[in-house]
């Protein structure tokens, strides 16, 4: 499988997806769009992974490359590619499918219990998942479900955490994080950690070794499911 990713800043990369892809023998390429790398002409992939970032999807005046990125993702969808959006990426995918992106009621940062909905039992992406699991969160915006999509997961702070529509999958939460990638988020966005109901302290996020091990097990199941979606007729 050929995986291509879009990266929006220097410190939110594929993290453990890269580890999974290497172990699985997949080819990985990427576009660091924040650094001026162009997406045009890059269509030689089977799976597009759109990563997280600190920007809002509507800030094209501040991040002009967002317009190009939206066109590229739309082209991948129209071309029958499998598209996985994570956090900001999920918001972009939802928007392109007709969903609305808006400020969430709560800022949600850290480890939070994520519960699958009854609709997830019919999901290809979440086949083999437990009914609830600890996932890592770092967001203040959220997406509405695109028309025709079912909500697949939720948390106490955010009703829409995942959706699947055709070959398009969106995750508000992060399955891909490692201890190192969490450290980079804290280093770069540490000022976003005021004492709020759903915002954890640095030490709590970084000391969750059991959560990290469990999360990687879930990531491997999830990415294998995505791989099967890519291979489907």
- Residues annotated as catalytic are 87, 174, 176
Beta-carbon contacts of 201 under 8 Å, excluding residues fewer than 6 positions away, are 193
Residue at token pair 């594929």: 14
Count of other CB atoms within 10 angstroms of residue 192: 15
Q: 170 forms bridges with which residues in the sheet?
A: 85, 163
Give the CA angle between residues 143, 148, 152 to the nearest 5°: 55
Long-range contacts: 12-15, Cβ < 8 Å, 24+?
12/51, 12/52, 12/53, 12/181, 12/184, 12/185, 13/51, 13/181, 14/49, 14/51, 14/176, 15/176, 15/177, 15/178, 15/180, 15/181
């Amino acid at each position: 499988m050929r995986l291509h990713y879009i990266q929006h800043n220097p410190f939110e990369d594929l993290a453990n997806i890269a580890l999974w892809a290497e172990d699985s023998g997949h080819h990985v390429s990427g576009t660091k769009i924040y650094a001026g790398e162009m997406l045009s002409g890059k269509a030689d992939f089977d799976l597009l992974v759109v990563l997280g970032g600190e920007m809002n999807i509507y800030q094209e005046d501040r991040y002009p490359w967002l317009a190009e990125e939206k066109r590229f993702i739309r082209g991948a969808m129209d071309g029958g590619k499998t598209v996985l959006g994570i956090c900001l990426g999920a918001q972009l995918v939802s928007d392109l499918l007709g969903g609305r992106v808006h400020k969430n009621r709560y800022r949600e940062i850290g480890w939070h219990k994520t519960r699958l909905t009854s609709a997830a039992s019919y999901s290809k992406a979440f086949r083999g998942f437990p009914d609830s699991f600890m996932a890592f969160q770092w967001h203040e915006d959220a997406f509405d479900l695109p028309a025709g999509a079912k909500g697949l997961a939720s948390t106490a702070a955010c009703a829409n955490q995942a959706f699947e529509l055709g070959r398009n999958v969106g995750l508000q939460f992060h399955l891909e994080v490692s201890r190192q990638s969490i450290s980079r988020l804290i280093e770069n966005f540490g000022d976003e950690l005021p004492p709020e109901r759903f915002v954890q302290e640095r030490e709590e996020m970084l000391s969750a070794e059991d959560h990290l091990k469990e999360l990687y097990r879930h990531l491997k199941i999830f990415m294998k499911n995505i791989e099967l979606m890519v291979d489907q007729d």
